[in-house]
């Protein structure tokens, strides 16, 4: 339990992010127009969990991805996430061995059984901020919705993103929070654990680049 308490982390508050709307699986958008291939060397998915008195952010990398663009607008996309690429920002041995190993275990990602995760875009709509609730992402101009598959669970999530499109490149940035228990990751989600409690809320940051 002491190991688990240091995993899906943070102080008593998850880092500030947009609240992603989570619904049931939606039909995936058809890929039309021009395809851009993700730059997997520079694209990064960040995560930070929420425990008690701890904050251990980490990253995941893409193994492959495609973004479809029609008339200068993103219309579809599919991304495969390499779960075994998981890294933790802290370089001390305890984090790089015990904590990282636990995150990859069946208590969390179960990387041996589910080596990849997937996100498939279902819609891309112009972003309109609600009154007094602007996105934390500077320049957010679209709301992206898509089916996120983690382990053997799939849910549709919607979040604001700052998307830029040129003739040769597409970039997308987002920062939002999801409830990990929606994907069957319930380990430590019991407030009776007190200082060993691990919040269900996890912050996700996206910095994606795709090239033609």
Q: What is the dihedral of CA 29, 206, 105, 63, to 10 degrees?
A: 60
- Residue 5's pLDDT is 43
- Residue 138's pLDDT is 96
- Residue 99's pLDDT is 83
CA distance linking residue 125 with residue 155, whole number of Å: 19
CA distance linking residue 110 with residue 102, whole number of Å: 9
Hey, which of 8-22, 30-44, 128-142 has the most confident mean pLDDT? 30-44
- Model confidence at 192: pLDDT above 70: no
Instruction: Sort strands 18-19 and 169-179 into parallel, antiparallel or unpaired.
Output: parallel
Compute the radius of gyration of the chain from its Cα atoms: 17
CA distance linking residue 57 with residue 144, whole number of Å: 24
pLDDT tens, residue by residue, 44-82: 999 997 766 677 799 999 999 999 999 999 999 999 999
- Model confidence at 3: pLDDT above 60: no
Ordered by where they begin, the domains of the chain are 2-211 (2.40.128.110)
């Amino acid at each position: 339990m002491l190991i688990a308490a240091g995993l899906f982390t943070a102080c008593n508050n998850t880092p500030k992010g947009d609240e992603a709307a989570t619904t049931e699986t939606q039909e995936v958008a058809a890929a039309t127009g021009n395809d851009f291939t993700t730059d997997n060397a520079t694209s990064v998915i960040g995560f930070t969990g929420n425990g008690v008195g701890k904050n251990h952010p980490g990253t995941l990398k893409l193994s492959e991805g495609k973004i479809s663009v029609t008339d200068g607008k993103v219309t579809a996309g599919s991304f495969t996430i390499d779960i075994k690429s998981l890294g933790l920002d802290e370089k001390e041995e305890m984090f790089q061995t015990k904590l990282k190993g636990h995150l990859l275990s069946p208590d969390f990602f179960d990387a041996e059984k589910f080596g990849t995760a997937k996100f498939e875009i279902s819609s891309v709509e112009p972003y309109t901020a609600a009154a007094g609730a602007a996105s934390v992402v500077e320049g957010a101009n679209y709301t992206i919705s898509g089916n996120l598959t983690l382990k053997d669970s799939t849910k549709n999530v919607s979040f604001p993103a700052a998307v830029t499109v040129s003739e040769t490149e597409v970039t997308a940035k987002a920062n939002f929070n999801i409830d990990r228990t929606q994907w069957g990751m319930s380990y430590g989600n019991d407030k009776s654990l007190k200082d060993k409690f691990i919040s269900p809320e996890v912050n996700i940051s996206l910095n994606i680049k795709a090239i033609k």
